[in-house]
Every structure is written in structure tokens, then in C-alpha cells.
Structure 1
Amino acid sequence: MNIEPIERIVVFRALQLGDMLCAVPALRALRRAYPQAHIALVGLPWAAGFVERYAHLLDELIIFPGASGFPEQEETDAHLPGFLRTMRERRFDLAIQLHGSGGLANDIIEGMGARFNAGFVEPTQPTRRGVFMPWPDELPEPARYTALMERLGIEAGDLGLEIPLTAHDQRECNALIHSCAIECERLVLVHPGAQLPSRRWPVERFGVVARALSDAGWQIAVTGSASEAALTARVLRGAGAHAIDLAGRTSLGALAALVARARLIVCNDTGLSHVAAAMRTPSVVIASGSDTRRWAPLDHARHRVLADWPACRPCAFRDCPYGHECALNVSVEAVLDAAFSQLQSTVAEEMFHYAHD
């Protein structure tokens, strides 16, 4: 790509935590290629904390006001003209569409008026000016965006996720461990939530799994946001008296620090799965509805993904209209078998390293 000098870059990815974590390898490559450039993210309001945490990769958050066809926010074009006018006034050198396969997201990028645009196009979509590659549907999510970096002439071989932890994160995590009497050497985190109901394994089954692990001597802590308290409460009722309720009690940094110290994560195919991948903590992921080729963690040994594949998968629904077959066909026994196998492997690996230190 020969449009030097590149001093101002804008990246469009107005999505949630798990989606943003999957873009980190591409952002890391972009920063290596342009260490002096000002790199702005056009994202959702929550991403202010993300940009602060990834200050080594991003310099600024520009809040996307929403638009028709973007369901993460109110779908209205009321604020879009003013937003695009402001973006054109910024005179970016390069605008990169990392939001998805193309279409409306490319229209947003082109409306920003950068000197040069890059992104993806579906086979049925018209060509765009700039570097727009065919949407690589066969690749895992992180590799899709590093593929675009490579198309831009940027070396991007490292697909590893990362969550930088601060001293404050560690202090917050330590305080939580102390106040809740958490024993990290036998800690299993159970996370029953997911943004879409169609992506959730039945919550009562999480409770049964938690109880069985607790009866086997593992300490159970149930995680979730404050808005998921009703969901985590149902897991806790099944998990037994010794389970710990952490719903709404952890920031992203403290949760990531706790995930790093846990023995195992049991969760849906949601943001916490990507946190576990970033912190290199073994996990069992029950993937309901999602495209596991795209979203499953890349380390298949460290992260066990359980999924059933009825004809309606991958799912495009918020609420399943077909009886949620993909979730119901993943049994409690299958999840427990995977969980105990992961825990046994973790203990064996630790014993090996202890014997050879």
C-alpha cells in the first residue's frame, strides 16, 4: 500500500467485548506497522475502557452513534449525517472496516472521507475503491482481520489474544479473593450468561455441573454482570451452599486477573471464552447456535468446545424458534466429562513442571 505518509488511522468496529478481543491481533499488527500514527477506534460507548486498557494499540475512542442495520444500538440514522460530517473534517489518511463482511459497514467507512479505505466485501457486493478483500468466511475470527492486515502489506502472523493487566486490576482481584475466601488452586469459574438467549445453554444445567464439580472438591464461583444476577442466582441455587456469587462484583480487569488464576472456566460461547483464551486458562465452552469455525478458541487442547449441529445452525435468531435443539443436545454428562478431563490435564501438567523444576 503506497499512500504515505499515514499519520491518522480510523478503525470501525462497533461491537462487544468478545468481538473486540478477537480484533486485538490485527490492531497489534497495525500498531507495529505505524508506531507513530494516531489510531482511533469508532466503537460503542462501553469501549472507552477498552481503549484505555489497550492504550499501546489505540489512541482514541470515537463513539459510533448507531445506524439502521446495526443492532448493537438503537437502529436510527438520526445522528449519522452529523457523525460522518465530523469524521470527514478529521481528514483521516486510512479508514479500516473491521466491523464485518461489508455492505452497510463499507458505506459507513466510505462516508468518513479518508484518503484511503480498506475492508471486506461479500461476493455479491459491488467492488469498492481501496483495499477490499473477499470476506474470508472459512477463517477463525481473529485470522479474518489479520488477513486484511496482510492484504495491506502489514505482517500479522501472531493470532494470540491478550488482555493487559494493571496493578489496580491485581489489587482488585486480590481484594475479591480475600473477601470471598477464594482458593485459586481449586477454583472453577462458571459463567451462564451470553448476550443472546439463543446462545445460552440451559441455566439449570450449569447448576447441575457446578454441583457435581463442587461435590468433587472444586470451589465454584459463578460470574456474570450485574444485569445477569437473576441468571446467576438460578445457577447458585443448583450449585450448593458453598458456591460463591460474583455477579456484578468484577471489572473486566479484575475478572481477567481472576480467570488467569482459576483452574477452569465453564461458559457459553461468549466474551468470557475469549477472556479465557487471552489468559491461557483451560475452558469448557458450550457453543449454542454460533459458528464454531469462526468463534471457537484456536487452542483446541486448552479449550474444549462442545456443540451440536442441527440443520438450522449457525443461528441468526436472538431467541430460538425451533426448541433450542443445539443447546439441549449437549448433555450435562458431556460437559462434566470435558470439565474433569481438563482439570485432570491441568493437574498433570503442573505435576510435570514441578518435578522438572
Structure 2
Amino acid sequence: MNAALQDKILVMGPSWVGDMVMAQSLFKALKQQKPGCIIDVAAPAWTLPLLERMPEVNAGIALPFKHGELGLGERIRFGHSLKNHGYTQSIMLTNSLKSAILPFAARIPKRTGFVGEMRYGLLNDIRKLDKQALPRTVDRFVALSADANTPLPDISNPSLAASRDNALACLASMRIPSPQTPVLGLCPGAEYGEAKRWPLEYYAEVARAAHAQGWQVWLFGSEKDVPFTAEINRLSNMACLDFGGKTKLGDAIDLMSLCDAVVSNDSGLMHVAAALNKKLIAIYGSSDPHHTPPMSSKAIIEYLGLECSPCFQRECPLGHLNCLRRIKPDTVTQKLI
């Protein structure tokens, strides 16, 4: 195909790790419909390690804008810098007005997305979101791969391509031998807030039970999660390897690929574990597993569906956190070991 006629698509990607993992289902749908298409993804720099592990993505483009700022002039200039890249279409996975400025400034002929913040004019292939027809985030992403008013394409689960060699190199750099026994990964963080975090003492109980059965237990988390991973390790009598705050996202993905099972709150790392096709216990509190489920047949969802759930609050408005506290460690351990 003539390069000038080849489908070259710029996806304006989401900022959250979990959403970016789910966006891979869109990339797969595009490749199924247009096998020769080239997909570039513009997103915050911290998401690029995910894109590097998605074979469908040609290139990740780091966006320099600060979270929440308009930066109109900067967005227009950045868009102008992409005018000669030959993009035939842009697809918006974000709903803000400011995020639609860049593809418009880049003069991309077809600019696809949902209405969002009144983006008429900036988008010219504009869709109205039917939340009942498209209840899940992944449904909404994949719907944008097809023409308007057509059936939802088949949805493929995300599948990250991790590097075992890099994982082993990371372990070696920390003087940790490669695992010779089963490994359980625990992901106790949730940036959104306390109402999505299973109690630390419950994680510690699961860690102790797994360790007693001969498993290694690895703790994963960002720098913000260091207090959580450290406390779980303390409560489990230092039975864990604590990677909290010690690994970059790409290294954490590769290390998690060595795990045999993972227990996680509803977080970005939960979606990573699902995309690595790990046995996964996904614990939901204030959020809704029907809206953002882990995309894996190996995932087991623990969600009580209480009368007050899902509330989508950062902290329990009733003060009891029953949606998480009533999911007992024994329930999780029995499904793992």
C-alpha cells in the first residue's frame, strides 16, 4: 500500500494505568479491522512502559502537559509538530475539551470520539455515548474502532508482552535469586483512596498463609504505596519481598510476569495482572466490577454488592468500610492455595 494512503492512527490515550491496559483491546480491534494500520499513542510519560509491552503499538508519544492545565498555546504547538506525521485518523479515549485540541491542531482529517466536554468542531466523527449499550470502559474504547451506528466489534482481552530477561535482571540487581517456588504477588495500593483498599491486616494474613505453604510473597506498589507494603511486611513477620517504591512501572510488570497468582485491589496493577494472564483475585469495594472488570478468564472477582455499593467514594461515607472488611482473608486464601 502507498504510505500516503496507509491508515495511520493517533490515539489520545488515558492517563490511568488501568485504562491504558484496557485500551489495548481497542488497539487489537483496530488491527483486526485494518491489519496494515499503524497505531501511535499520545499519553503521559508514565504510561509509556505499558505501550512498549503492546505489540500493536508502533510508538508512544509522551505528552508534556501538566495534569489539569489547559496550556492552550502549548497544545496547539505540539499539535502543529505532528502535522507532517501522516495521520489519517485520531481516536480520543479522553473526554476533556483540552485533549481534543491537539488532533485538531495537527490537522488530522478524521477525529473520532465521544461528545465529552462539548467538543463539536474539534471532533468531526463525533459519537453520543449510550451508557446502557456500552456499560464497560473497554466497550466504549472498542466502539471507537468502528464506524458510528455499527455493532460493537469483538473484544479481545489485553495481553502485555513482558520481558522475563528484564525481570531476572531486576532480581539480580537487588541480589535476589530467581524464584524456585510458587510466587504470590500482592498489590495493596489504590491511588483513588481508602474505599478501594482491602485492609492491610487481611493482606498480611494471606501473606502468612501463603508463606506457610512454601510460596514466596512479593509486594508491589508505587512510591505512594510504600507505607502499605511496609506495614504488610511487618504484620507478616517480614515474610515478603517488598518491591514497593523500588521498581519502575516497566520493571514491576516484568516482575509480576514471574508470579503464579496475584491478589489486588481494583487498581492499575490489577489490570496489569489480568493482562499478564495470571490467576487473579480482584477485590472491589467502592468501585463497580461491572464497569471496569479485570479482562481475564483467570480472574476471580470478590465483590459483595452491598446495598450501599458501589458508592464510588474515596472514603467510606458511612464510616464502616463493610464492602471490604466483610471479604475475609480465608475466602481469598482458599481460592489461591
| Shared fold (TM-score, shorter chain, > 0.5) | yes
CA displacement at 1:141 relative to structure 2 = 2.9
Q: Percent identity?
A: 23
SS state at 1:277 partner: helix
Question: For residues 341 and 191 of structure 1, what CA distance do their matches in structure 2 show?
Answer: 17
Question: For residues 62 and 34 of structure 2, what CA distance do their matches in structure 1 show?
Answer: 19
2:88 maps to 1:93: yes
Deviations 1:182-226 (A, max 9, x none): 645332111211112232122222122222332344332222223
**Which runs of 5 or more residues in structure 1 are unaligned?**
67-72, 344-357
1:230-241 matches, cutoff 5 A: 230-241=227-238
Which region of structure 1 is more displaced relative to structure 2, 265-274 or 238-247? 238-247
Question: For residues 43 and 174 of structure 1, what CA distance do their matches in structure 2 show?
Answer: 29
After superposition, the Cα gap between the structure-2 partners of 1:267 and 1:172, relative to the gap in structure 1 and judged at 3 Å, is: same
Question: For residues 335 and 52 of structure 2, what CA distance do their matches in structure 1 show?
Answer: 37
Contact 2:9 2:38 (8 Å CA) reproduced: yes
Contact 1:163 1:279 (8 Å CA) reproduced: yes
2:181 maps to 1:185: yes
Contact 1:25 1:156 (8 Å CA) reproduced: no
Contact 2:43 2:60 (8 Å CA) reproduced: no
Which protein has greater RCO, CA pairs closer than 8 Å, 6+ apart? 2
1:1-357 matches, cutoff 5 A: 5=5, 7-31=7-31, 33=33, 39-54=39-54, 56-63=56-63, 65-66=65-66, 73=67, 75-77=68-70, 79-88=71-80, 90-91=82-83, 92-99=87-94, 102=95, 104=97, 107-108=100-101, 111-112=104-105, 113-121=107-115, 129-136=124-131, 138-151=134-147, 157-166=154-163, 168-173=165-170, 175=172, 179-181=175-177, 183-197=179-193, 198-299=195-296, 302-323=298-319, 325-332=321-328, 335-343=329-337
Deviations 1:63-84 (A, max 9, x none): 0514xxxxxx2x222x223313
1:346 is matched with which residue?
Answer: none
Name the structure with the higher helix share.
1
Question: For residues 186 and 254 of structure 2, what CA distance do their matches in structure 1 show?
Answer: 15
Question: For residues 96 and 238 of structure 2, what CA distance do their matches in structure 1 show?
Answer: 51
CA displacement at 1:20 relative to structure 2 = 0.6
CA displacement at 1:32 relative to structure 2 = 5.2
Contact 1:160 1:278 (8 Å CA) reproduced: yes
CA displacement at 1:154 relative to structure 2 = 11
CA displacement at 1:86 relative to structure 2 = 3.4
Contact 1:9 1:39 (8 Å CA) reproduced: yes
Question: For residues 96 and 340 of structure 1, what CA distance do their matches in structure 2 show?
Answer: 43
SS state at 1:305 partner: strand
Question: For residues 78 and 227 of structure 2, what CA distance do their matches in structure 1 show?
Answer: 41
Question: For residues 230 and 213 of structure 1, what CA distance do their matches in structure 2 show?
Answer: 21
Question: For residues 204 and 167 of structure 2, what CA distance do their matches in structure 1 show?
Answer: 29
Structure 1 residue identity aligned to 2:137: E
SS state at 2:205 partner: helix
After superposition, the Cα gap between the structure-2 partners of 1:252 and 1:163, relative to the gap in structure 1 and judged at 3 Å, is: farther
Deviations 1:282-314 (A, max 9, x none): 1111112112112222445x2111123345543
CA displacement at 1:233 relative to structure 2 = 0.9
Contact 1:133 1:151 (8 Å CA) reproduced: no
Give the TM-score taking structure 1 as reference length: 0.77
Structure 2 residue identity aligned to 1:337: T
Question: For residues 245 and 183 of structure 1, what CA distance do their matches in structure 2 show?
Answer: 14
**Which runs of 5 or more residues in structure 2 are unaligned?**
none
Structure 1 residue identity aligned to 2:90: A
**How many pairs were matched up?**
326
Contact 1:190 1:221 (8 Å CA) reproduced: yes
Contact 2:264 2:281 (8 Å CA) reproduced: yes
SS state at 2:69 partner: coil
Deviations 1:80-106 (A, max 9, x none): 23313431563343121112xx46367
Contact 1:287 1:307 (8 Å CA) reproduced: yes
Superposed CA RMSD? 3.4
Structure 1 residue identity aligned to 2:207: A
Question: For residues 62 and 304 of structure 2, what CA distance do their matches in structure 1 show?
Answer: 39
Deviations 1:141-164 (A, max 9, x none): 333222221336899534221211
Which region of structure 1 is more displaced relative to structure 2, 289-298 or 46-55? 46-55
SS state at 1:179 partner: coil
After superposition, the Cα gap between the structure-2 partners of 1:328 and 1:167, relative to the gap in structure 1 and judged at 3 Å, is: closer
Deviations 1:110-166 (A, max 9, x none): 7444321211247x9979631425244544333322222133689953422121123
After superposition, the Cα gap between the structure-2 partners of 1:341 and 1:214, relative to the gap in structure 1 and judged at 3 Å, is: same
After superposition, the Cα gap between the structure-2 partners of 1:289 and 1:65, relative to the gap in structure 1 and judged at 3 Å, is: same
After superposition, the Cα gap between the structure-2 partners of 1:330 and 1:119, relative to the gap in structure 1 and judged at 3 Å, is: farther
